[in-house]
Amino acid sequence: EAGVAQSPRYKIIEKRQSVAFWCNPISGHATLYWYQQILGQGPKLLIQFQNNGVVDDSQLPKDRFSAERLKGVDSTLKIQPAKLEDSAVYLCASSPRWGGPIETQYFGPGTRLLVL
């Protein structure tokens, strides 16, 4: 079974530029998550989709971050414009059903973003 795919793996941009990350979850997984992991910290949830609807985006900085999940499969996360503090690893995860309390989340390798 193929895992969660993310691209690009690395990205370097100047502040105030835009950037987009792509995620392809495990086939058939209904729930998709985007996390931000700043160096030395644990991942923090930015947004959770169930199929193509948003379940939780309470920690997404909506003035600059946006995400979509078209047709309930692939997802993109965009930052526009980027700030220095956005430098982090962006992780995508998926789970089979509705993201319940015993459901395993499967993580991709992440995209490492450096904002200069």
Residue 55, C-beta contacts closer than 8 angstroms, at least 6 positions apart:
31, 48, 49, 99
Q: Is 104 left (phi over 0), alpha (psi -120 to 50) or beta?
A: beta
Total residues at the site for another protein (CB under 8 A)? Answer: 27
Binding flags for another protein, 59-98, as an x/- string (CB under 8 A): --------------------------------x-x----x
Q: Is 96 left (phi over 0), alpha (psi -120 to 50) or beta?
A: alpha
Task: Examine residue 48 and tell whether it contacts another protein (CB under 8 A).
Answer: yes
Task: Examine residue 25 and tell whether it contacts another protein (CB under 8 A).
Answer: no
Q: What are the residues binding another protein (CB under 8 A)?
A: 4, 33, 40-45, 48, 50, 55-56, 91, 93, 98-110
